Amino acid sequence: MNLSLKYNRTEIELNLPAARFQLLLPPIGGRAGESDPLREGRCFDEPVQRPPLHEFLENKRRILLVVSDATRRTGSAEVVSELAKYFIKYDIKYEEFNIIVATGIHRPPTESEIPALLGEQWPARARLLAYRAEDESHLVYVGRTSFENRIYLHHSLIHADAVLICGGVGFHYFAGFSGGRKSILPGLAGLESLSANHNLIFHGAEEGRHPRATTASLNGNPVHEDMMEAMELFGTDQIFLINTLFSADGTRSDIICGHPVHSHREACRRYLDGHSVVIPRPADLVVASAGGFPRDINMIQSHKAIEMARYALRPGGTLIMLAACQEGMGHPAFFPWFRFETEAEFRRELRRNYVVNGQTALALFEKSRRYRIYLASELDPAAVRQMGMQPLPPAASAIQALLEGEFRAAVGYVLPEAATTFCQPADARIERP
């Protein structure tokens, strides 16, 4: 079985015995000849529980378009271009049109990334705004959630008459799914608010994590519910959501627009159906790629692929992960957390001094103790070892040698798109969104 596994913007060629390895790919693909609801504007004219977009925008003077950052695939450049055409088609009037990138705690986009995020064709007189979670001067207090989270949001949301949110829906290892409400909290929230939200993974749990704060879980998930309450505090009436879904080959497979709650739930259901694979049982060995750029842009993003791959592994099994991490760890606050020797002291310090990226570090720390993880990346091998993983040169020869040596008799799975593939054992029951 000859395979080309994505690594950054390139591929690594491997040859694995088909008798011992099962290839796991989600069923979803492109539209295969179907008409494109975005190019036709049909997604804007036939939204879920919302009037057509041109009617929704009637008498709205100040419009804000929210897009996600470069760490996730959303197709926002194409959406912005089609919105510009749609505005011309319906002669939509406004006084202000602002665009803001919802980065949460991620770095702001670089100047060279803006064309890829927003394209070249913007609605007339559109202006790009800046946001940083640490900048309290641009935040407005909107209220407190039932989880006692004080919600501060960027002032551009408060001043807008209509908010168009363009985000990609995918799996999220503690919020259940990405997209939708995440563009508000954590996307455009203050650091205090987003930190308190992420800390809810420990809500009500004396040890470990809240059992519902996990992949593909919305109902009863305190992190998701806090995000929803934050959005309700801001107000859902002025939001028109644009949810994009992407297939394993990187093509946009679907787009669902409309009400910020109902259209997001529908998008999550479609994503789960299209990106789940049923496996007979967890395996001893999994060979996986994070899916290349941007999913392996740094260690924080690549962790998402490790999280998804673990569902195909038995406890104590081995994962060989290809993830370039060409931008390093992803945040200066991430790597210092690996100074701890045990999960107990790590978790104790995180509860006492919560930092958002410390949570991701803890999740990786936990997995590195439950599984044997080889990481083929651009990271310093010493840093990989300190995170509890074993460094592997990102070369076909090195990976092939490992598979033909120590693991020459192993039986397992291959995950070419680990970050977007949810492996469900045949006897597991997954609650739909």
- Structural domain boundaries of the chain? 2-26+277-425, 42-273
Q: Can you give the pLDDT at residue 175?
A: 96
Rounded CA-CA distance 213/142 in Å is 25
pLDDT in tens, 94-113: 999 999 999 998 888 888 88
Q: Which two tokens stand for residue 147?
A: 């989880």
Q: Which two tokens stand for residue 30?
A: 């492109």
Q: Can you give the pLDDT at residue 34?
A: 64
Rounded CA-CA distance 69/178 in Å is 13
Grade residue 311 by pLDDT with cuts at 50, 70 and 90: very high
Q: What is the mean pLDDT of residues 214-230?
A: 97
Q: Inform me whether the pLDDT recorded for 32 exceeds 50.
A: no
pLDDT in tens, 380-409: 999 999 999 999 999 999 999 999 999 999
Q: Can you give the pLDDT at residue 51?
A: 98
Q: Can you give the pLDDT at residue 323?
A: 98
Rounded CA-CA distance 410/432 in Å is 33
Q: Can you give the pLDDT at residue 137?
A: 95
Q: Inform me whether the pLDDT recorded for 282 exceeds 90.
A: yes
Q: Inform me whether the pLDDT recorded for 427 exceeds 90.
A: no
Q: What is the pTM of this model?
A: 0.89
Q: Can you give the pLDDT at residue 29?
A: 53
What does the DSSP 8-state code read for residue 69? -
Q: Inform me whether the pLDDT recorded for 307 exceeds 80.
A: yes
Q: Can you give the pLDDT at residue 385?
A: 98
> Which numeric CATH code is attached to 2-26+277-425?
3.90.226.30
Q: CB within 8 A of 204, min separation 6: which ones? A: 210, 222
Mean pLDDT, the chain, rounded, equals 93
Cβ-count burial 19-30 (b if 16+ within 10 Å, e if not): eebbebbbebee
What does the DSSP 8-state code read for residue 427? T
DSSP 154-182: EHHHHH-SEEEEEEE--EETTTEE-SGGG
Q: What is the mean pLDDT of residues 255-259?
A: 97
Lowest mean pLDDT among 150-159, 194-203, 424-433: 424-433
Rounded CA-CA distance 26/277 in Å is 6
For domain 42-273, the question of CATH label 3.30.450.20 is answered with no
Q: Inform me whether the pLDDT recorded for 183 exceeds 90.
A: yes
